[in-house]
Amino acid sequence: MKETTDDCCGGGTVFGCFPDVSGKRNKKRLAEPEAKPEAQQNSQHSPGGSVQAFYRQNRGKSCRKIMRFNGYPNKVLLYPEEGWARSAVSSYWTLTPTWWNCSKCKVVEVTGTRKYTTLAKMVDTDPGSLFIVGSFNKRTDPDFKLYLTSNVSTADFNMGYSITGSLECGSTKNNSFQTTHFAVIRRRDFDTSRP
């Protein structure tokens, strides 16, 4: 019985030719790898790939752009400072810029079952820095200054934060402000409340 050779095998045994179910040789060659986009190649060769690229590209960029990329409303997680003398209730804020004025944003403080809402002023000080200044209709420490920056450390970024900062509360009448909370905004891929 004479054995027939296919073009793909070239007369010898090649790992690219496997027998078919019917017993005939497969005439397909192994497809050459297609050229992949650069982002996919980087994600395969470097640990963390696209996440680390996101960190390098967005570190020091405008906080407003990162917040827009994360999607509105942005949830600001507040962690009490150790030096703050009062008992801190677990709370968070949501930030949503207004559509009629780009320098204003709606701030909602959620503490347990209570919600306080106000309009605050957004001020870009440096590239990568944003101040949000306003006041709630509360008796104690009604005024606040929220400082946010996209110059996050690698450790904070690995924890899932794209923006970090600090919250100062007090009163503008008495000029008594003190740092009360460490503020963070999670990256979109780390935020479990988003779909």
- pLDDT tens track for 60-101: 888 998 888 888 899 999 998 876 656 556 689 999 999 899
Cβ atoms of residues 177 and 145 within 8 Å: yes
Residue (of 146, 135, 139, 124) closest to 172 by Cα position: 135
The domain locations on the chain are 51-190
What pLDDT is recorded for position 172?
84
Task: Look at the alpha carbons of 155, 157, 160, 161 in this order and tell me if their dihedral is positive or negative.
Answer: positive
CATH of 51-190, picked from 2.40.128, 3.30.1360, 3.10.20, 1.10.8, is 2.40.128
pTM attached to this predicted model: 0.67
Cβ atoms of residues 195 and 71 within 8 Å: no
Q: Worst-scoring range by mean pLDDT, 31-40, 45-54, 135-144, 179-188?
A: 31-40
What pLDDT is recorded for position 88?
57
